[in-house]
Amino acid sequence: MRFLRSYVVAGALCQSLFSLCSCNSSPEAKSARFIEKGKKLLAKNNVQRAILEFQNAVKATPKDPEANYQLATGYLAAGDASNTVASLRRALGLNPKHRASEILLARLMSQVNDKGILQDAQQRLKALLEDAPNNAEALHTLGLTELKLGEVTDAFKNLDRAVAVAPQSLGMAVTLA
């Protein structure tokens, strides 16, 4: 009986110690763990659980644009366009220069057939490229957007630049071909 009590006491001590350690963790550290776990789940196509992890990251650090961006990637994988766009807009509201959010939002905008939305995407991408002129993904998305707008010469210039910046990217080379 004494032996059993010592195990119970040891277990309670371990649980208390674990609780203390997790309480001392900063919200940023918790968010980073949630994001990392969410990325792993997303890579395994466990989209719904990944979204839950990203939501936990947003709850831990609601003013972190990266947590909102990651949540958007989860919603995108789930095919939930409205929540994807809402999360991207939140991320950009927190940091208007969050490149990954800008590019993803512009990429989504470039997939529609509305000239006004396409022009908005084009403007966003051009502004982004002023700060990061060698961003291959932005160049690629701009090229595709310009193709839809009928600006073929500019489109091919940007797609060619995208391939030159990221020659290892098969998708960009295929688009140009």
pLDDT digits (tens, 9 = 90+) for 121-156: 999 999 999 989 999 999 999 999 999 999 999 999
Within 10 A of 173 (CB to CB), how many other CB atoms are there? 14
d(CA 165, CA 162): 5
- Token pair for residue 83? 């929540």
Is the domain of 80 the same as that of 137?
A: no
46 — phi, psi (to 5°)? -95, 70
Domain end position, chosen among 68, 96, 124: 96
Do 53 and 88 sit in the same domain of this protein?
yes
Q: Determine, yes or no, domain membership for 70.
A: yes
Q: For residue 170, what pLDDT is reported?
A: 58
Asked if residue 79 is part of any domain, the answer here is yes
Tokens standing for residue 46: 């466990």
First-to-last CA distance in the chain? 77
Burial readout 40-75 (b: 16 or more C-beta within 10 A, e: otherwise): ebbeeeebeebbbbbbbbbebbeebbbbbbbbbbbb
pLDDT at 105: 96
Whether the pLDDT of residue 16 is over 50: the answer is: no
Note whether residue 134 is domain-resident.
yes
Tokens in use for 125?
């991408």
d(CA 163, CA 171): 9
Q: Are 135 and 176 members of one domain?
A: yes
**How is the chain split among helix, strand and coil, in percent rounded to 5?**
80, 0, 20
Please provide the average confidence, as pLDDT, over all residues in the chain: 87
Residue 63 resides in a domain = yes
Which residue type, as a one-letter code, is found at position 135? Answer: N
Closest by Cα among 87, 157, 77, 147 to 113: 147
Host domain of residue 58: 26-96
pLDDT single digits (tens) 48-85: 999 999 999 999 999 999 999 999 999 999 999 999 99
Q: Is residue 110 part of a domain?
A: no
φ/ψ of 62, rounded to 5, equals: -65, -20
